Amino acid sequence: MDDCPTRMSRRPLRGLPSSKVGKMSPDQVIPVSQQGGRRQVQSGSVRSAETPKDRCKTQSPEREQQPAGRAAAAMREQINTFETVFNVEQFLLYGEYREQLGNFARREAARLLTLDSHHSHGSSSKKSRPYSKCRDCLARVRRSIVTKMGEDWIFLVLLGLTMALVSWSMDYASAKSLQAYKWIYGELKGNVPSQYLAWVFYPMILVMFASFFCHLISPQAIGSGIPELKTILRGVVLKEYLTLKAFIAKVIGLTASLGSGMPVGKEGPFVHIASICAAVLSRFMSIFSGAYENPYGYTDILTVGCAVGVGCCFGTPLGGVLFSIEVTSTYFAVRNYWRGYFAATFSAFIFRVLSVWNKDAVTITALFKTNFRMEFPFDLQELPAFAIIGIFCGFLGAFFVYLNRQVVLFMRRPTALTRFLTKHRFIYPGAVTLIIATFTFPPGFGQFMAGELMPRECINSLFDNFTWTKISQYPPPPGLGRSAVWLHPHVSVFVILVLFFVMKFWMSAVSTTMPIPSGAFMPVFILGAAFGRLVGEIMATLFPNGILFDGIVYRILPGGYAVIGAAAMTGAVTHTVSTAVICFELTGQISHILPMMVAVILANMVAQGLQPSLYDSIIQVKKLPYLPELALGHISKYNIFVEDIMVRKVKFLSSHSTYRELNHLLESTTLKTIPLVDSKGQ
């Protein structure tokens, strides 16, 4: 190698801009010679020679005949800087990195942190502070952890662990509240008036407490939170929506709402809770790294929080990540994909482990595990029935969104009733809870609509393997469990399912308008399961012996129809397809994957043509600054320019405006913001 001191590398030098390289002339090529073990950059023309022995190209500069041009000087300076900083071995316009740039950047960042810490210690005080050695030791440990593990892993683990603990604590507290609710009702058996008072006032107290607590601590905690997050992810700043006060109000208020037994969901508010936790943790992580102070990474952090919120809510990491992308993001950065999956999977795992630790489950299983047969779970002749479920769920989902919006608009109209309810803000949630609890009272009308079942009991019973229309004896067999509530000696199963669906439909639409933390995913999920179960029981009645195909009789599974209806209904209301994946993870089976996807896609096609999604509808009602997507049938709207919709006659001030003009402008307008321009010219 002594005869060939300058070996050429055929990889382009990535540190140089391509524009600079392209503009260089042959006379401006900069050779590199090595003298005394040190590289020197020289200018001038170059003679190239190739030795036959080593077949290596050597270069020797001639004497410089004239001063180098500005381009050569700038090029020399750039190469010297690049060589010094990035430690690059270069020859002509080719070179190679001696080490990975990421390792160099990480080492350089650690060095700068050390210099900053020494500078801050030296400039703050000349005297040695107490515990300074401990602080330096902690700083070194912090830098070592960040260097070895990386900031992302620490942040994602903390986020997943925190949200798993919060989710499990909320479920535990709400479950104990519902147990106390049922225990009080059972202890008063035989005294119907006392049972009614307990059945009504217990949820009223919890709902009114949730409303009062949110109004006192943080009014931004009211509602779902997903519409506001969609707006924030589009770049709009909404004050007080991602604060610690909103987190506390949302957690406590949602726990009280779920513990009341009202038809409200956990998914939407929990996405908001996880996003707040991600935002707060990012401020904490800024202690370790300044990367979390970057405003451009704030959206990525919130996106990961949304994925963790859905994944940890039901223990469904795969569907949770996909659902969060569909619901909250218009443009999703692929670099956040692994972050969302890692945090959601870790959080869901801890969430299920805590359930096993609390002996709520024997092992880590699905939340609503089903036991459908895996071999031939359905026949192809049943596909028309599954398609009917999807189409009808599309219409029903659109009507649910319409009904919810009309209730909100009615409450916002300036009438005497709405003004009274606005002035006494606790009357509306109390009145809604009173009406719903009265209709679901088990000895009363509730016996005809399975009113005594709580939300999770409804789902477990609707997904079971029994065919209710084939059970004629009363009382029903003991092995039926909580599904026995759907059977009545004088009323048909079909009537009970229809009454349940109709009553829960308007109850869910009205409950989500109360000023408490509430979501609509789980109530709509139950509605879809009830509708699918109704279609399944009808199919089981039409084909009591099953469907004969190729000499084999396939028995109808009404529980499978319920699962398909649940996925289709939630997909129609939220305009998402990932609800099918969520159902797979909730039930632990993918036996009905084909009919479920058919039903969900058909439901989306119908619903998207009739109404916006529930979250977009709330955005429109609240008039949040959010630009919706244009559908395929609105291509002409892409040709609209800003000048076509802008307000041309704008009142403004200029630097030459007089006091009289300013005073007149303030008296003649109610604008809160007045534009200031340089001149009065048009």
Residue 160 located in a structural domain = yes
Residue 61 located in a structural domain = yes
Tokens found for residue 244: 């610690």
Say if residue 246 is in the same domain as residue 336: yes
Residue 239 located in a structural domain = yes
Say if residue 193 is in the same domain as residue 330: yes
| Structural domain for 251, as ranges | 151-357
Position 223 scores a pLDDT of 85
- The CA distance from 11 to 442, in Å, is 79
Q: What angle do CA 629, 633, 637 make, to 5 degrees?
A: 60
Position 9 scores a pLDDT of 40
Say if residue 403 is in the same domain as residue 285: no
Position 305 scores a pLDDT of 85
Nearest to 587 by CA among 305, 370, 423, 388: 370
Residue 634 located in a structural domain = no
- The CA distance from 527 to 404, in Å, is 15
- The CA distance from 263 to 217, in Å, is 24
Position 316 scores a pLDDT of 85
Letter string b/e over residues 512-523, b meaning 16 or more CB atoms within 10 A of that residue's CB: bbbbbbbbbbbb
- The CA distance from 458 to 455, in Å, is 5
Q: What angle do CA 484, 490, 496 make, to 5 degrees?
A: 55
- The CA distance from 299 to 328, in Å, is 11
- The CA distance from 65 to 623, in Å, is 73
Residue with tokens 């001191």: 5
Say if residue 565 is in the same domain as residue 495: yes
Say if residue 497 is in the same domain as residue 579: yes
Say if residue 564 is in the same domain as residue 588: yes
Judge whether 533 and 558 are in contact, CB under 8 Å: yes
pTM beyond 0.75: no
Judge whether 564 and 544 are in contact, CB under 8 Å: no
Say if residue 306 is in the same domain as residue 334: yes
Q: Decide: helix, strand or coil at residue 190.
A: coil
Judge whether 626 and 644 are in contact, CB under 8 Å: no
Rg of the chain over Cα atoms, rounded to whole angstroms, equals 34
Judge whether 288 and 282 are in contact, CB under 8 Å: no
- The CA distance from 105 to 666, in Å, is 55
Residue 296 located in a structural domain = yes
Say if residue 110 is in the same domain as residue 92: no
Pairing type for strands 547-549 and 552-554 reads antiparallel
Task: Tell me the mean pLDDT per 10 residues along the chain, length 682.
Answer: 42 42 42 41 41 42 45 54 47 46 67 62 49 65 58 80 90 90 87 89 92 88 86 81 89 91 88 89 68 62 85 84 80 76 87 80 73 73 88 93 90 80 83 91 86 86 82 70 79 89 91 88 91 89 78 80 91 90 85 87 90 88 75 67 78 82 83 77 56
Say if residue 402 is in the same domain as residue 426: yes
Alpha carbon 610 to chain centroid, angstroms: 25
Say if residue 109 is in the same domain as residue 256: no
- The CA distance from 585 to 580, in Å, is 9
Nearest to 29 by CA among 82, 94, 87, 86: 94
What sign for the dihedral angle of Cα 271, 274, 280, 284? negative
Burial class (CB in 10 A: 0-12, 13-18, 19+), 646: exposed
Residue 114 located in a structural domain = yes
Length of the chain: 682
Residue with tokens 């939407």: 268
Judge whether 356 and 526 are in contact, CB under 8 Å: no
Judge whether 328 and 233 are in contact, CB under 8 Å: yes
Q: Is 131 left (phi over 0), alpha (psi -120 to 50) or beta?
A: left
Give the CATH number, domain containing residue 268.
1.10.3080.10
Tokens found for residue 124: 């703050």
What sign for the dihedral angle of Cα 11, 13, 17, 20? negative
Q: Decide: helix, strand or coil at residue 554.
A: strand
Residue 370 located in a structural domain = no
Say if residue 87 is in the same domain as residue 107: no
Mapping DSSP onto H, E and C, the string for 250-310 reads HHHHHHHHHHCCCCCECHHHHHHHHHHHHHHHHHHHCCCCHHHHCHHHHHHHHHHHHHHHH
- How many structural domains are present in the chain? 5
Residue 32 located in a structural domain = yes
Alpha carbon 601 to chain centroid, angstroms: 21
Report which secondary-structure segment, H or E, holds 41: strand 38-41
Alpha carbon 239 to chain centroid, angstroms: 19
Say if residue 469 is in the same domain as residue 402: yes
